[in-house]
Structure 1
Amino acid sequence: MDEKLEALKKYNLWNGNSYNLGLKRKSYTNKINSFIGNNLVKVLIGQRRSGKSYILRQVAANLVSSHGVDPANILYINKEYLEFDFIADYKDLESIYRLYRDTINPTGRVYLFMDEIQYIEGWERFVNSHSQDFAEECELFISGSNSKMLSSELATLLSGRYVEFHIFPYSFEEYIQLQGKSADRSSYIDFLKKGGLPELYNLPTEESQKQYVASVKDTILLRDIVQRKTIRDVKLLDDVFIYLVNNASNLLSITNIVNFFASKKRKTTYDTISNYIGFIEEAFLAYKTERYNIKGKDVVAGNCKYYLNDLAFKNYLYPGFAYGLGYLLENAVYLELLRSGYTVYTGTIKDKEVDFVATKGDRVIYLQCTYMLEDEKTIEREYGALEAITDSYEKYVVSLDEIKLPSRNGIRHIQGWDLFSFLLP
């Protein structure tokens, strides 16, 4: 029991301890802080190593510094730490919670932070019980790296009693804040060529960064997928991920992927590929984007696109394939739309394709992405697709041109490093 208590003391703000808070990610913490003071469970989801732990600790530290909460009223548990291996299920979690209350004796509302909670069997029973406990008030903040596991349990037991925050790796705005750079073409291209995994910026060499990205990918595939799913061919799972990385932003179908592996003398089935891609999505490594008929205003079944959760996987692991800055830009624009809370589709209008149809509430935005508007053919291709749309919603072309072009038929030109400001309400 003493070892368990020592583990708690080591990782909590008691006895004058402090946290390494990293880069202050106010775009997330401000949203989370606005929900403090009620019984809603605050749920942080996102890919492993995207910064969820730092954000949880920033929220906890802010409770002390800005809200006057006694550090004794904050309990932080990270299931990834070896010291917490003894917490296997909800009963173990309840036992350590009781130890905390009996030993530390907090007065009033307790703020409980549980990181990577999906590794605790039956965790949802603990969360459901304590989020509703009026005798011992407890406000819960939890994080996890598996979308399906969290959403199914939460929807079943906590319907209407939780609020979800999707955490992504660093945005361009966070990148320039961290690096002390200006928002311009040069810094944006540097960002596109690196990616946003936070730990990358603590590593001194490109080789160490490459090894880190590889370890993140392997950990997600092996720990978050292989250990939790029925995976008969681990090598095929890895190869499917590689295929998605190298074909991000291209229209794909499961049948085409099966045929690709068949051409390489790899036997597989439609169901296997579909399941493996689904598992990759659940771990937040990639996102599926459906096609949307702009004129008919409905989703089109069949081919779809996939985008990566971070460009580092392409930049560090598979740079030898043809994948220019234009494709990196398109993926980066997609992620910025998701960060800003938009639902995103690939648009189709007549025989033309629109890179993104983004919706948020009543707002609808159409966007085309291209590396450079360097010749008349490119300009006609990018603007022509948007000009085919007859409604009056916002239309933009995003590129990396040094010079901002004038509007054309109501279609505005955005330089990639300025995109964020256009997505604000």
Structure 2
Amino acid sequence: MISKTLWGNIIKDFQKRRYRNIIQRDVHYPLDIPLDRAVVLSGPRRSGKTYLMYMGIKELLARKEDKNSILYVNFEDSRLVGAVSQDLNTLLEVFFEIYPGRNEKTWLFLDEIQVIPDWERFVRTLVDMENVNVFVTGSSSKLMSKEIATSMRGRSLTYNVYPFSFAEVLKAGKLEYEEYLSLAQMGEIIQKLEDYVRYGGFPETVLYREEWDRILSEIIDVTIFRDIVERYDVKNIKMLKLFLNAIFNSKEFSIHKFYNFLKSQGYKVSKNTLYTYFGYFEDSFIVFPLKSFSYSYKKIESSISKIYLVDNGLLSLQGIRDYGRLIENIVFIELKRRSKGDLFYYKSTYGREIDFIIKEGKKVSELIQVCYMLDDFVTKEREIKALLQGSEELQCDNLLIITWDYEAVEIVSGKNVRYVSLCKWLLDY
């Protein structure tokens, strides 16, 4: 049990906190919630969920809200080890005792609250209270952050938090992309883009570039050992790591084929175990499978998945230097971040592949190819033919090719094909 005195100390510690040097993220969530729901900030470890809470608190203070009406608690604080559900009620009791004259509205930021058993009941009680706004994050070994919304039984609004976008990387470096830039300014931005393509956008790797590999290795280790091995009591750690390594080094991945490979090498593991492991990786936001589009649900589910990772630094950590793959991975994560609709890849009747298609409702709204360089006729013709065939089959004329630096609009077979540089597309310029 946590004493009232200790809760008082923690509450007072928060009151003394200063919120300087917080990089403004492009993730926006409501601070005044009109519904009886908690806001859930969901995403991989170290993607900046805690700092998004700080950003919200800073915004409340900027609009002159009473700080005595705001509470932030990090439940991974070492002083709270062993806390139980009853302690949450004590926290609230002490907070209201210390600040009885606070404003009517209250904002509660509960960071990693899922380390406390039966936390869901407490949070659901809070959202039922009048004028109480509740914000929750989580990615600990007790509960994957993706599952918090499920635990809340529909009483939450979820906002996904990914590593920095390229626009946020420029903000962190105090750089701004404008229509007219000097050669020196443009050179600096392109250097940032090259770093982003190679090292990714986890906030710590952006701010401490020289330690990028050490930071990312630690994130993977913590995710594997705390979020997966400890939580699910995985015994075959060697197989788990072998499986993850195989996924990291694959552009397409078939669990069935990998199972047959393991069997041929004398490994003893069931196919169901591999499917279970893959689900763990997906739930922890490391791996994103992308299915091939079809108007048949069965065909979608049975299609071989293309594999994307949450951050390009994880690809570089594996020694992958293929710029085509690196850029395609960045485009995928940016599309996930923008979440305009359902995302698929597509193979035409003649087997020509389109990297990404966006489906909004029942309609395919955009076809996207990603190509590092279009410096030869064969490559350009391949990309265009795939788009044109996809356009015909999917009834979509919004055709885009993202390249490193080529920009144009060309009319091909009566259709407009837009070419946009990666830099401008990432900045939505």
Using the size of structure 1 for normalisation, the TM-score is 0.87
Q: Note if 1:354 corresponds to 2:364.
A: no
Equivalent-residue separation in structure 1 for 2:220 and 2:338 (angstroms): 25
Q: CA deviation at 1:357?
A: 1.0
Q: Note if 1:412 corresponds to 2:418.
A: yes
Equivalent-residue separation in structure 1 for 2:79 and 2:216 (angstroms): 25
Q: CA deviation at 1:347?
A: 1.3
Equivalent-residue separation in structure 2 for 1:21 and 1:36 (angstroms): 27
Q: CA deviation at 1:375?
A: 0.8
Bigger mean CA deviation after superposition, 324-333 or 16-25: 16-25
Q: CA deviation at 1:272?
A: 0.9
CA contact (8 A) 1:355 1:367 kept: yes
Say if 1:84 and 1:339 are closer, same or farther in 2 by CA, change over 3 A: same
Select which of 222, 241, 245 maps to 2:244: 241
Output the amino acid matched with 1:96. L
Q: Which residue of 1 aligns with 2:69?
A: 73
Q: Which residue of 1 aligns with 2:163?
A: 169
CA contact (8 A) 2:164 2:201 kept: yes
Equivalent-residue separation in structure 1 for 2:302 and 2:36 (angstroms): 40
Q: CA deviation at 1:120?
A: 1.9
Output the amino acid matched with 1:176. L
Equivalent-residue separation in structure 2 for 1:373 and 1:90 (angstroms): 59
CA contact (8 A) 1:112 1:138 kept: yes
Output the amino acid matched with 2:150. S
Q: Note if 1:22 corresponds to 2:22.
A: yes
Query: Equivalent residue of 1:169, what SS?
Result: coil
Q: CA deviation at 1:204?
A: 5.9
CA contact (8 A) 1:281 1:287 kept: yes
Equivalent-residue separation in structure 1 for 2:264 and 2:193 (angstroms): 38
Say if 1:353 and 1:236 are closer, same or farther in 2 by CA, change over 3 A: same
Query: Equivalent residue of 2:232, what SS?
Result: coil
CA contact (8 A) 2:200 2:311 kept: yes
Q: Note if 1:328 corresponds to 2:326.
A: yes
Query: Equivalent residue of 1:188, what SS?
Result: helix
Say if 1:239 and 1:79 are closer, same or farther in 2 by CA, change over 3 A: farther
Q: CA deviation at 1:296?
A: 9.9
Q: Note if 1:231 corresponds to 2:234.
A: yes
Deviation readout 1:47-74 (Å, 9 max, x if unpaired):
01000000011101211212x2111111
Q: Note if 1:374 corresponds to 2:375.
A: yes
Q: Which residue of 1 aligns with 2:183?
A: none
Please show how residues 66-215 of structure 1 align to structure 2 within 5 Å.
66=63, 68-87=64-83, 89-105=84-100, 106-134=102-130, 137-145=131-139, 146-154=144-152, 156=153, 159=154, 161-181=155-175, 185-203=190-208, 205=210, 208-215=211-218
Say if 1:370 and 1:294 are closer, same or farther in 2 by CA, change over 3 A: farther
Bigger mean CA deviation after superposition, 288-297 or 358-367: 288-297
Q: CA deviation at 1:353?
A: 1.4
CA contact (8 A) 2:399 2:418 kept: yes
Equivalent-residue separation in structure 1 for 2:272 and 2:247 (angstroms): 17
Output the amino acid matched with 1:399. T
CA contact (8 A) 2:169 2:206 kept: no
Runs of 4+ in 1 over 6 A off after TM superposition: 294-298
Output the amino acid matched with 1:198. P
CA contact (8 A) 1:50 1:169 kept: yes
Output the amino acid matched with 2:224. L
Deviation readout 1:358-412 (Å, 9 max, x if unpaired):
2345672111111111111111111111110212341111111x33233243121
What is the number of equivalent residue pairs in this alignment?
401
Equivalent-residue separation in structure 2 for 1:282 and 1:372 (angstroms): 34
CA contact (8 A) 2:346 2:356 kept: yes
Deviation readout 1:61-115 (Å, 9 max, x if unpaired):
211212x21111111111222133243x332222222122222323412111011
Output the amino acid matched with 1:46. G
Using the size of structure 2 for normalisation, the TM-score is 0.87
Please show how residues 332-343 of structure 1 align to structure 2 within 5 Å.
332-342=330-340, 343=342
Q: CA deviation at 1:182?
A: 5.7
Equivalent-residue separation in structure 1 for 2:58 and 2:331 (angstroms): 32
Output the amino acid matched with 2:77. Y
Q: CA deviation at 1:300?
A: 5.0
Q: Which residue of 2 aligns with 1:221?
A: 224
Output the amino acid matched with 2:8. L
Output the amino acid matched with 2:132. C
Select which of 42, 47, 51 maps to 2:44: 47
CA contact (8 A) 1:90 1:120 kept: yes
Q: Which residue of 1 aligns with 2:400?
A: 396
Please show how residues 240-279 of structure 1 align to structure 2 within 5 Å.
240-247=243-250, 250-279=251-280
Equivalent-residue separation in structure 2 for 1:182 and 1:263 (angstroms): 54
List runs of 5+ in structure 1 lacking aligned partners: none
Please show how residues 240-319 of structure 1 align to structure 2 within 5 Å.
240-247=243-250, 250-293=251-294, 299=300, 301-315=302-316, 317-319=317-319
Equivalent-residue separation in structure 2 for 1:140 and 1:91 (angstroms): 18
Query: Equivalent residue of 2:40, what SS?
Result: strand
Output the amino acid matched with 2:239. L
CA contact (8 A) 1:294 1:349 kept: no
